[in-house]
Structure 1
Amino acid sequence: MLKFFLLLPLLSVPLYANPRFYDATQGAGIDFVHFNGANGQKFVIETVGPGGGFFDYDGDGRLDIYLINGAAVPGTDYDPAPQNALYHNRGDGTFADVTAHAGVGDTGYGMGCAVGDIENDGDLDLYVTNFGANVLYRNEGDGTFADVTVAAQVGDEGWGASAAFADIDRDGLVDLYVGNYHNFSYTNHRVCAEGGSGLQLYCGPEAFDGVTDVLYRNEGDGTFADITTAAGLGSAEGKELGVVFGDVDLDGDPDLYLANDKTLNFLYLNDGTGHFADEALLAGVAYNEDGDVEAGMGVDMGDYDNDGDPDLFVTNFQWETNTRYITLGDGTFVDEPFLAGLCKGSIAYLSWGTRFFDVDNDGDRDLFIANGHLESDVEQYENATFPQRNQLFLNVGDGRFEEYAEDGGALSLKRVSRGAAFGDYDDDGDIDVLVANVAARPTLMRNDGASGHWVRLRLEGRDSNRAGIGTRVEVTSGGRVQTDEVRSGASYLSQSDVQLHFGLGTATGIERVVVYWPSGRVEEYADLGVNQEHLLVEGAAR
């Protein structure tokens, strides 16, 4: 049942930072429109997508954009059918639609995407999740892709939500995890009602059964094997929406955190061989601080407090707290949303895509949250809106955040947002944001306000997977040590740039960079220049 409470004052503006986002969508030539098929029948698939992604598909050093579309539902007809779209970055702030040439215009009922180099040939391949059969596009290296789903044996036909690539067994090949939502179908569809008012609503996850996710091992010959059960993941039936890999226990292999919708979340620790055990209850990340399940949507992992350990963040439903799990360094976490300053500013929003990133290049990671309701009728209730503005929380130190209000910029726009991807598409040294919106154009948010120094690192594996996914990097600059990890997926249904970006504040030099490759190799670099990108190739450190 939906509940509505008094909206409290939310905004607090730090005086030491002045981020500024500009809505560059129209000027960039992005004319894509998302369709979800909604016609009043309240099919729940209409509410979940879409996602999108930043990735350099053609290796020209510029971030391109991939956008996920929906499809018709029973009673709706589109001609032509909606399709996903790939936009090529021209390098002048504009993009060209190259979907047809690239061959990536899938027409399934799309949800999200993830990238990884499945063949270690130096270009990024693309996986698309759908309500229905998922799709794997192999990058041919010439600006085109081939649909290799059937040959690769990765076309799971459930309701695929978020996905991510990771080298779970550290054999130098990226494997693939697909998070499935639940068992909704057109045959078990139902409409739910809000008690008292009789308002017709999309049914929540409680109306459907959980399902098993899928873990595919890369066999190295162009095929993948379903090892879900063998890897210890076959017994749990969650309702996954958020998927993130990261080395939670710092033992050198990728662990897996899953955000579930109204069921407990999972934390699968990797034993080093690609076999997993769920430790979420013991670690304190299965429930929120009150011991309740929440509507886990988006998820990110990042060291926002610069203590060397990865922390977790999960977005949730309106009138639930978004959950910040801070690691205590002993394998356990604590959820303290009120102390973090993240509760008052977000409880009135329904939240999805998210990421820890340094918006102003001051040397610590801030937090972005994409928002938007499910129900177009919700505005008949006080303090509830269907389109909602997205939020930026600035890191003010000591484990606390303060919400930043922007008058007149892209942060003040109200949209029905879902996925969010992050990367420096205009190559000016700060992180921009791509937000995927329901039944509308996306929002390309160009960051024009960062003033600090920065460095961008592109990792290229040799013994490790070529894209460096799972590589952990420590950067020491100006006496501050920052840590980040190359990831596929995360956020919500979306793919961010796989390059690592570090804000450096006023520091004009970098004392040390330590790279922990998935292969186990550790390399150190010194005196890297600031305000530029560096390619770090495994085995090449001197």
Structure 2
Amino acid sequence: MKIITIAVFCLFIVNQITAQISFTQTNIATTGQYSLCAVDMNGDYLDDIVSVSTNSINIHFQNEDGTFTSQDFPTTSANYLPTWSIAAGDLTGNGYNDLLYGGGNGVTFMIANEDGTAYNEISGPEYVFSQRSNFVDINNDGHLDAFVCHDVAPNVYYINDGEGNLTFNQGGIGDYPSGGNYGSVWVDYNNDGLVDMFMAKCGGEPARRTNQLFRNNGDGTFTDVADEAGLADLIQTWSAAVGDFDNDGHMDMLVGASSFSDGGHKLMRNNGDGTFTDVTAGSGFDVFGGTSIEHATYDFNNDGYLDIFGNSNIMFLNNGDFTFTPYVVPFSGAAIADLNNDGFLDAFRGNAIYYNDGNANNWVVLNTQGVESNRNGIGARVEVYSALGTQIRDIRSGEGFK
């Protein structure tokens, strides 16, 4: 993947002001019954809101003035609904994002036509108990592929020929026979220019619940190096938040705990040599008693440091030194995006938008478009250098399940 310079908002500090955070709730009507995602669906560089039902896709298109225009797109009945996950990405390169529905029995793709006015339903016959799903270029050929965590069998992925034709594959990236695969995060952890993958595991016997780190070998194959990296934990994890928490140019990790039966949350610092060090003590996560099945990382107060949010109503604001301050917020388990184009990240859950009240900190918006790579620029990395260090933002698709 080339680093190039989906509408994705990358927020970086210019003038730092330490601030708490608050949100204001506004309700909107949606017609979809299943998973929500926030993504630019029509290429106007504004984040939209997507919800789906068996026979339709409902999109709230964001307008430049912060209002929304709602439109329903009737579809052929989906064989599988996104009861566990949803992901968005442009598989065909026509400028309109397609959707992946991760269901409990299989996977459905909704492919946008050339002008984004209709969607074609494609479902395979394969049984897949989906957990998190992602769009990512798995084999480094410049085309956007699809990856789906399998709960009860080896993981599955779909290789794209560049025309949107997908070939089903199973095995090679998480092969344990009874699965236990829940939270996949695609990230270049060793800064070699290839996108690797951390797999947060579920419970069960030790081999089923041991977390994995798959290093991209650059030839379409992956090697599990979690043990040598210090990430082969037996914690029932389910999810992880991966980002550069101290702006040193290396991607760190919060390994979440969905149950404390095998251990608690672990904050891991990337040493820059392919290994990680446990820095949980004194971080704030060592005394946090809440569990979470989902974690993600964004800079919510635009202070230049990545914060951490899960499916509880606690947001951890980053102090920049591997310590985090917890704040109670009025939502949990939400889709995150800038929903009024003011440079601050908002949240959406159910039929409620929680607008970030913001502060005086500055921001910049960068939109990625692949030329030799996938059109969204998924897998690309943006780096900004300032007095705060190196601020890294990766372009990803698929950061949640259920």
TM-score scaled by structure 2? 0.85
Q: Secondary structure of the residue that 1:99 maps to in structure 2?
A: strand
1:316: Cα distance to partner?
A: 2.3
Structure 2 residue 92 is matched with structure 1 residue 119: yes
2:42 maps to what in 1? 58
1:360 counterpart = 2:301: yes
Aligned to 1:509: none
Q: CA deviation at 1:322?
A: 2.5
Q: Which amino acid aligns with 2:115?
A: D
The SS at the match of 1:483 is strand
Q: Mind listing any 5+ residue stretches in structure 2 that lack a counterpart?
A: 1-16, 204-208
CA distance, structure 1, for counterparts of residue 20 and residue 365 of structure 2: 22
Structure 2 CA distance for aligned equivalents of residues 91 and 101 of structure 1: 26
Note if 1:394 corresponds to 2:378. no
Please give the residue correspondences for 1:416-455 in structure 2 after superposition, counting only pairs within 5 Å: 417-418=332-333, 420-435=334-349, 441-455=350-364
Q: Which has the higher contact order (CA 8 A, sep 6+)?
A: 2
CA contact (8 A) 1:217 1:225 kept: yes
Q: Over alpha carbons, which structure has the higher Rg?
A: 1
CA distance in structure 1 between the partners assigned to 2:229 and 2:343 by the alignment: 37
The DSSP-based 3-state class of the residue aligned with 1:425 is: coil
Cα distance change on mapping 1:16 and 1:60 into 2, 3 Å: closer
CA root-mean-square deviation: 2.7
Does 2:269 match 1:326? yes
- Cα distance 1:214–1:396, how it changes in 2: closer, same or farther (>3 A)? same
1:94 Cα deviation from its structure 2 partner? 4.1
Paired residues of 1:242 and 1:298 also in contact (CA < 8 A): yes
- The corresponding residue for 1:162 is 132
Q: For 2:155, which of 213, 237, 255 is the aligned residue? A: 213
Deviations along 1:320-351, whole A, 9 cap, x unmatched? 52332221111111233333212323x2x231
**1 CA distance for matches of 2:265 and 2:31?**
30
Please show how residues 112-511 of structure 1 align to structure 2 within 5 Å: 112-150=85-123, 153=124, 156-182=126-152, 211-229=153-171, 231=172, 233-235=174-176, 237-262=178-203, 263-287=209-233, 293-319=234-260, 321-345=264-288, 347=289, 349-371=290-312, 390-405=313-328, 411-412=329-330, 417-418=332-333, 420-435=334-349, 441-478=350-387, 480-490=389-399, 492-493=400-401
CA offset at residue 465 of structure 1?
Answer: 1.4
- Partner Cα distance (1:463, 1:323) in 2: 38
- TM-score, normalization by structure 1: 0.64
Q: Deviations over 1:300-327 (max 9, x none)?
A: 3211110111112233225452332221
What's the counterpart of residue 4 of structure 2? Answer: none
Gaps of 5+ in 1: 1-14, 35-49, 70-80, 183-210, 288-292, 372-389, 406-410, 436-440, 495-542
Count matched residues. 379
User: Retained in 2: the 8 A contact 1:68–1:112?
Assistant: no
Identity over the aligned pairs, expressed in percent?
29
- State how far apart, in whole Å, the 2-side matches of 1:92 and 1:321 are: 44
Displacement after TM superposition at 1:264 (Å): 0.9
8 A contact 1:135–1:147 mirrored in 2: no
Evaluate the alpha carbon distance shift between residue 82 and residue 280 of structure 1 in structure 2; reply closer, same or farther with a 3 A threshold: same
Q: In 2, Cα distance between the equivalents of 1:260 and 1:393? A: 23
The aligned amino acid for 1:329 is G
AA aligned to 1:281 is D
Aligned structure 1 segments of 4 or more residues deviating by more than 6 angstroms? 81-84, 102-107
User: Deviations for 1:265-298, whole angstroms, at most 9, x for unmatched residues?
Assistant: 11111101110111112211121xxxxx223223
Q: CA deviation at 1:117?
A: 1.6
How far the C-alpha of 1:146 sits from its partner, in A, is: 2.3
**Deviation sequence 1:417-448 (CA, Å, 0-9, x none):** 54x3321111001111224xxxxx35422111
Alpha carbons 1:324, 1:337 under 8 Å: kept: yes
2:6 matched residue in structure 1: none
Aligned letter for 1:180?
H
SS at match of 1:337: coil
User: 2: CA distance between counterparts of 1:129 and 1:107?
Assistant: 7
Decide whether the 8 Å contact of 1:161 with 1:180 is kept in 2. Answer: yes
3-state SS in 2 of match to 1:281: helix
User: Any idea what SS the aligned residue of 2:282 has?
Assistant: helix
User: Is residue 112–residue 129 contact of structure 1 (8 Å, CA) maintained in 2?
Assistant: yes
